[in-house]
Amino acid sequence: MANTKAKLLVIDDDLTLLQGLEVGLTGAGYTVMTASDGLKGLQTFYNAQPDLVILDLMMPKMDGWQVCRRIRELWDVPIIMLTARAQMVDRVTGLKLGADDYVTKPFDLKELEARVEAVLRRAKPRNTGQSTVLYSDDRLVIDSTRQEVLLDGQPLDLTAIEMRLIIYLAENVGCVVTAEQIRSAVWGPQYTDELSSVKFYIWRLRRKIERSPSDPEYIMTERGLGYRFVRPN
């Protein structure tokens, strides 16, 4: 059964296919948004922040590889790529850029539905009922097993990357970690793009957990070295 709360963004310049996927996936229980080219797709993505993106490879203005790269610079949302080209190099390139799955046209709608469901299931953190609290004080609790962060007793709404980032910092509480170490731990060792994404996500995390993001209590910048997660005095 489809996750009726899941929002899907379908980006494809084939308007007939786009309409068919919108009808079919909506009928399967998903909330579906569409865009007919890469630029419109990115704009819709930034505004709507969907749970999964279905992305055509060959499009005008901005192709699927470029869109995938732009999304992966900042977000960890699952991506399924569509293409009429079946060459292995395309599959490898897409997967290296961060796509989670690859579907070759033409395809059956039921196959795509099954892949969407499987990718969403893999992306959803498992809750075993056990608790592994990495850090806690009278204001902040970080539980790695439950993939949960509480601030003043209320769960924080964190993206997958933000969750991995705060867990990694909490695992190394009191220790300086470099931007390169954070990039490897949070995005994976295969991710070699610029370190600006690390700085951006540190900024986002501070805005969510610090009383004063410009004067942080938890995530300290160690100039020339990296970052340190500390317990406030």
Answer yes or no: is 137 within a domain.
yes
Cβ 191 vs Cβ 198: under 8 Å: no
Cβ 56 vs Cβ 82: under 8 Å: yes
Answer yes or no: is 26 within a domain.
yes
Residue 150 bridge partners (DSSP): 141, 155
Q: How many domains does the chain have?
A: 2
Judge if 37 and 19 occupy the same domain: yes
Q: Which one of 67, 90, 123 terminates a domain?
A: 123
In whole numbers, what is the pLDDT of the chain averaged over residues?
A: 85
The answer to whether the Cα torsion of 3, 118, 79, 182 is positive or negative is positive
> Amino acid identity of 9?
L
Q: Which one of 77, 93, 123 terminates a domain?
A: 123
Answer yes or no: is 128 within a domain.
no
Lowest mean pLDDT among 32-36, 92-96, 97-101, 145-149: 92-96
Give the predicted TM-score (pTM) of the model: 0.55
pLDDT score for 145: 81
Task: Give 153-206 pLDDT, tens digit per residue.
Answer: 999 998 888 999 999 999 999 999 999 999 888 887 666 667 888 999 999 999
Bigger pLDDT: 219 vs 2: 219
Task: Give 73-129 pLDDT, tens digit per residue.
Answer: 767 788 998 887 655 545 566 556 667 788 888 888 998 998 898 888 877 654 445
Bigger pLDDT: 144 vs 15: 15
Q: Which two tokens stand for residue 185?
A: 């731990």
Q: Which one of 74, 101, 123 terminates a domain?
A: 123
Judge if 14 and 115 occupy the same domain: yes
Residue 89's domain comprises: 7-123
CATH number of the domain within which 26 lies: 3.40.50.2300
Judge if 72 and 174 occupy the same domain: no
CB atoms within 10 A of CB 215: 8
Answer yes or no: is 73 within a domain.
yes
**Mean per-residue pLDDT for 53-63?**
87
Bigger pLDDT: 43 vs 33: 33
Judge if 51 and 158 occupy the same domain: no
Answer yes or no: is 1 within a domain.
no
Report which listed range, 2-16, 25-39, 54-68, 185-199, is most confident. Answer: 25-39
